[in-house]
Amino acid sequence: MASAPPLLQERFSEEFNLLEDWEQAQLLSSVQRIAAMMGAEDLDAAPLLVSAEPATDPKALAKVLNPSTTTEEDQESN
């Protein structure tokens, strides 16, 4: 893990924060326009944008990759 490259979203976030405010607003506006053109406003991208350390537990990883799937153990804890 120590030799793994940094996550793309971390690099993007760092680079994005270095931009001027007007540049950030312009990019955000463009991405929102593209999302609207694609009909993607109602998609939940949160499961794909995980910034935590990678899970080593297979059950935890399965939850991240497929959050709609629950196990018997999950149902018992709820």
User: What are the pLDDT digits (tens) for 26-38?
Assistant: 999 998 899 888 8
62, 69 in Cβ contact below 8 A? yes
CA 25 to CA 41: how far, in whole Å? 18
Q: pLDDT confidence of 64, banded at 50, 70, 90?
A: low
Instruction: Give the single-character DSSP code of 3.
Output: T
Q: pLDDT confidence of 17, banded at 50, 70, 90?
A: very high
CA 2 to CA 53: how far, in whole Å? 12
